[in-house]
Amino acid sequence: MKVEERRFLAAPSRGEVTALLLLPPRATVLYVFGHGAGAPMRHAFMEAAARGLAEQGVATLRYQFPYTEAGRKSPDTAPVLQATVRSAVAEAARVAGGLPLLAGGKSMGGRMTSLAAADEPLSGVRGLVFFGFPLHAAGRPSADRGAHLASVGLPMLFLQGTRDNLADLSLLRPLLTAVTPRPELHVVDGADHGFRVLKRSGRTDEQVLEELCDRFASWAGEVTKA
């Protein structure tokens, strides 16, 4: 399956960044896919998720944030990250060919997308999908980082593992009950923040990813059918 490399202006002060467009035949939706803090767009999980989604008819536009484009380890400031999300959505709209748009990402990429959407609507985006929403720092349970979700106003799908040390489900569940429209929470038993499972679970990481992509595609069909 062909991957097309593209470039777009991330933020006026940060210059251009690279993006990868994976557009399968008979795609039904395009997902704007931000990466995690320590895992750029070519990370193994990002690659595998994009290909798994493509098999389900979901196109993806993976993109770099300016700090990863420059080879730095420390993330950009939140305003720069959110500006990059907006620019990525605009680039996705240019290449979508009329496909409905979803946005979100892995960990930090997802959270920055939700923060951007809570601040101002993301033009053309029908819903948000999170691969491991980072609700709090490891070992420091708190729901504060999710307070903005009530202001997003879009359908949202949270894909979370029970062993995720960045998202205590006992905090995430009640937080989502106060959000309208009510988000969907899909929980993977035994999965950590990277959706890895222990051998004794009887499942493989590949099987978990297949489950995630199946649920994503099913949810996307429901959200974009109107």
203-215 tens-digit pLDDT: 999 999 999 999 9
| Four-residue CA torsion sign, 27, 110, 142, 193 | positive
User: Rounded to whole angstroms, how far apart are CA atoms 220 and 215?
Assistant: 8
pLDDT in tens, 114-166: 999 999 999 999 999 999 999 999 989 999 999 999 999 999 999 999 999 99
Q: For the segment 170-188, what is each residue's pLDDT rounded down to a tens digit? A: 999 999 999 999 999 999 9
What does the alpha-carbon distance between residue 80 and residue 11 come to, in Å, rounded to a whole number? 7
**Mean of the per-residue pLDDT values of the chain:** 96
What are the residue ranges of helices labelled H in 21-65?
A: 44-55
pTM of the model: 0.96
Name the CATH architecture for the domain at 3-224: 3-Layer(aba) Sandwich (3.40)
Task: Provide the pLDDT for residue 226.
Answer: 62
